[in-house]
Structure 1
Amino acid sequence: MSFFNFSVKLFYRAKKSILLAVFISIFGFIFFTIIPSWSANMGQGYEQLTNKSRKMIQSYRKALIGNLMPKNNSTYNQRNTECDSSIDWDMLLDDITVTGAQLVQYFMWTNHSSCHLSHDFGGEMGFNPSGLAGQKAVCIDPKIAPKPGKCIVYSFGIDNEWSFDEKMSRYGCEVFAFDPSMGMDHHDHIPGNVHFYNWGLGDRDEIDHHNNWTYRSLSSIYDELSHRHGRKIIDYLKIDIEYSEWLALPEVIESGMLSYVRQLGMEIHLDIYASLKVHVYWAKLLRTIEKMGMVRFDSEYNPWSVGNFTKFPLAGSLGYEIAWYNSNLSHVIMP
């Protein structure tokens, strides 16, 4: 390469560097001198925005942040609670600062991974939104599944809707159904191997004279029906009794009847007029059975029953279908 050609190339390279330096200098002048002055003027202009404009900007900001942040406390974030198995629920429920949103997070905790295969039995099609309502999840894992031809089911709360009972009968279980509100006497329901009793589930044996309904505890009913099915395990206990679950559940725990229940499917109901303290107590009842060996494997919120709570800030579902299996009553699987 000649000295002349080398000099020309060096000149063009230097020219590019000079242009780049000039460009950087101009950009720096604009960024550090003009923009701050312009921003200050804009800041003064922002102060003159109408309240409506400010609220619009704030709402967009909140929406953006809401989409970016994980929604751990969202009332309807039911599927994200699968990862919440790491949460210490006892510590959460004992915390005096626990919120309504955190309580809902506990109720909606699904823990699906604890059962590899579960089926929904029964239910009716609901609308607005469309979907199945009243179904009960049954774990079909071999160590937990009801054994067709050998299983018994207790079903509390029928309300003339027999789909769960009939499906469990078709599955191969003998079903004992209970409901005092239907105005029916004891009888065998057709179709299926379903025996109906006009008893309600309570914490003791008593008569509601106002409605002329008979309530009985689970232990009392089991003792009386043992002459029909023996002292067998209740393979599935369904409880859907419109708030009375909170009255009956302590008796189920204290009487020792939980040790006779292989799977439990229960619709729990929250009360918009009850205090946060009452709801914490209800949540602790569920934690009690879980610490006794009942393993949660499903939870679904009820989208047709929603409301605004009056004693603490929360709006959301008032009903949750939760299902557990008893880890102390696994079947022995033969090799």
Structure 2
Amino acid sequence: MKRNLLNQLMAMTLLVSIYALFNVVIHTSWLLKDYPVFDNDIHYLESPPPVSFGYLDFSVKLEEEESHLMPSKARPPKPGMTTEETVKEKTNGLRVGGEEIKSPNEKSTEQLKILLDAITKPTYFCSKMLNQGGRTCKLVPDGDKKVCMDEGIGPKRDSCIVYSIGIGHDFSYDFFMTKYGCNVFSMDHDYLHSFYDTNRMYKRLYMASVRLGTMIEYRTVHDNIENSTFTYFYRPLDNIMYILHHENANLDVLKIDIEGDEFHVFEDSIFKTDILERTRQLSIEIHLEKFLVKNATEDIEALARNYTRFFVGLKSHGFELAYYEPNIITPVPLVKVLGINFPVCFEQLWVNRNVRPGEMPVYEKPIRHYVKQLEPKDKHLIQSQ
């Protein structure tokens, strides 16, 4: 009797162990499937992965021609391809935000097409494109970023510096770049970031509670929904690099997602420095949300020109567009302007083939000491009420 009970207990224990092991395999297999292990050979993504929008009821026929609704790498232009064909509608079923913006001004239409071309027409072909980080949102990949590993452009293993600015709470990209051997400096600031124990982060990953701005400042924002206030702390990029002893260093990757502030931060701050000349790759999310404003007071031609000026600035600092894809994991994925549907947000990767050599940083103290210097000194101001 006792032996039978013991045998049954052992059998149940074995079944539970097998079930637990099965769950571990199922829930961790994505690590091996989607993300290369850098301790061995580097795995390259030779071309963009096929895109399926079926889960979002976004029925789009995948064709060979380029479109602002499709991910795109640089490729030889097709004979006879016109801008009209490039920006034609392919939006069956996907929500379009706001009212359609119309204008009889032909210059407005032409300027909008110039803007879309600047966003969606890569000019540099990266032969070794690597997909890093990300998660799944509504069964669709979200938050993953591209890194070009071509010689002279790719991060230098075990000596690379990566800035990841505006991370939210997704450290997946940052973590996998540390696996490659980069020192990754992650930055963002809200009331939750203050609870992170930065001393227990991943090896080579350094988190600072600070946002990217154009000057050193505090901004207090009231949340009407939560009926609370929070004071955010900002620093300009050149100040951040000075504190981290990177003022003369190369940035291997500058990753920025600052929810629409990218335009004025670059124009009022970054473009006025030599940081981009020392940066190999810029991974950035672009937000065109001003087109969503109902009855926008800005002239469409002027709005498109203002947005375009940002991309012209990147090119003037030596950058070439290597990859773009629309980001449709947003409350309002599309906007319709002058009869053209296009996404509100885009992911882009820019590369600099003529980067100016910098100097390796010298640290007299542990790196975390310098990272803490980035954070606000007036802690009593940084609190939710």
Same fold, judged at TM 0.5 (above): yes
- Counterpart CA distance in 2 for 1:298 and 1:102 is 17
- Counterpart CA distance in 1 for 2:352 and 2:133 is 22
TM superposition shift of 1:197: 0.8
- Point out the structure with the larger helix share: 1
- State the partner residue of 2:257: 240
State whether structure 2 residue 199 is matched by structure 1 residue 181: no
Question: Could you tell me which amino acid in structure 1 is paired with residue 266 of structure 2?
Answer: L
- Counterpart CA distance in 1 for 2:78 and 2:170 is 34
- Counterpart CA distance in 1 for 2:334 and 2:145 is 26
State whether structure 2 residue 346 is matched by structure 1 residue 320: yes
- Per-residue Cα deviation, 1:203-238 (whole angstroms, up to 9, x for no partner): 111110233110111011111111xx5732111100
- Counterpart CA distance in 1 for 2:211 and 2:347 is 19
Question: Could you tell me which amino acid in structure 2 is paired with residue 76 of structure 1?
Answer: L
TM superposition shift of 1:80: 9.0
TM superposition shift of 1:152: 0.8
Among candidates 217, 225, 234, match of residue 236 of structure 2: 217
- Counterpart CA distance in 1 for 2:73 and 2:353 is 24
- Counterpart CA distance in 1 for 2:231 and 2:342 is 34
TM superposition shift of 1:311: 6.5
TM superposition shift of 1:315: 2.8
- State the partner residue of 1:279: 304
Q: Is the 8 A contact 1:84 1:109 kept in 2?
A: no
- Counterpart CA distance in 2 for 1:287 and 1:304 is 27
TM superposition shift of 1:245: 0.9
- Counterpart CA distance in 1 for 2:314 and 2:73 is 23
Give the number of the structure with larger relative contact order, counting CA–CA contacts within 8 Å between residues 6 or more apart.
Answer: 2
State whether structure 2 residue 247 is matched by structure 1 residue 254: no
For residues 27-106 of structure 1, the aligned pairs below 5 Å read 75-79=68-72, 82-83=75-76, 97-98=109-110, 100-101=112-113, 103-106=115-118
Question: Could you tell me which amino acid in structure 1 is paired with residue 272 of structure 2?
Answer: E
Question: Could you tell me which amino acid in structure 1 is paired with residue 322 of structure 2?
Answer: F
State whether structure 2 residue 203 is matched by structure 1 residue 192: yes
Number of residue pairs aligned between Structure 1 and Structure 2: 254
- State the partner residue of 1:162: 171
Q: Is the 8 A contact 2:122 2:320 kept in 1?
A: no
- State the partner residue of 1:299: 324
Q: 1:256 to 1:81 in 2, by over 3 A?
A: closer
TM superposition shift of 1:310: 7.0
TM superposition shift of 1:198: 0.7
Among candidates 152, 162, 172, match of residue 181 of structure 2: 172
Q: 1:213 to 1:296 in 2, by over 3 A?
A: same
Q: Is the 8 A contact 1:78 1:109 kept in 2?
A: no
State whether structure 2 residue 286 is matched by structure 1 residue 268: yes
RMSD of Structure 2 on Structure 1 (CA): 3.2
- Runs of 4+ more than 6 Å apart: none
Question: Could you tell me which amino acid in structure 2 is paired with residue 258 of structure 1?
Answer: L
- Counterpart CA distance in 1 for 2:192 and 2:73 is 42
TM superposition shift of 1:316: 2.7
Q: 1:111 to 1:125 in 2, by over 3 A?
A: farther
Question: Could you tell me which amino acid in structure 2 is paired with residue 281 of structure 1?
Answer: N
Q: Percent identity?
A: 25
Question: Could you tell me which amino acid in structure 2 is paired with residue 134 of structure 1?
Answer: G
Q: 1:80 to 1:209 in 2, by over 3 A?
A: closer
- Per-residue Cα deviation, 1:238-287 (whole angstroms, up to 9, x for no partner): 00111111121111111222122111100001111265322331222112
Q: Is the 8 A contact 1:143 1:330 kept in 2?
A: no
Q: Is the 8 A contact 2:217 2:233 kept in 1?
A: yes
Gaps of 5+ in 1: 1-66, 90-94
- Counterpart CA distance in 2 for 1:301 and 1:159 is 19
Partner SS for 1:98: helix
Q: Is the 8 A contact 1:81 1:108 kept in 2?
A: no
TM superposition shift of 1:318: 1.0
Q: Which has the larger radius of gyration?
A: 1
TM superposition shift of 1:188: 3.9
Gaps of 5+ in 2: 1-60, 84-106, 222-229, 358-385
Q: 1:213 to 1:85 in 2, by over 3 A?
A: farther
Q: 1:288 to 1:254 in 2, by over 3 A?
A: same
Q: 145-154 or 77-86, which moves further after superposition?
A: 77-86
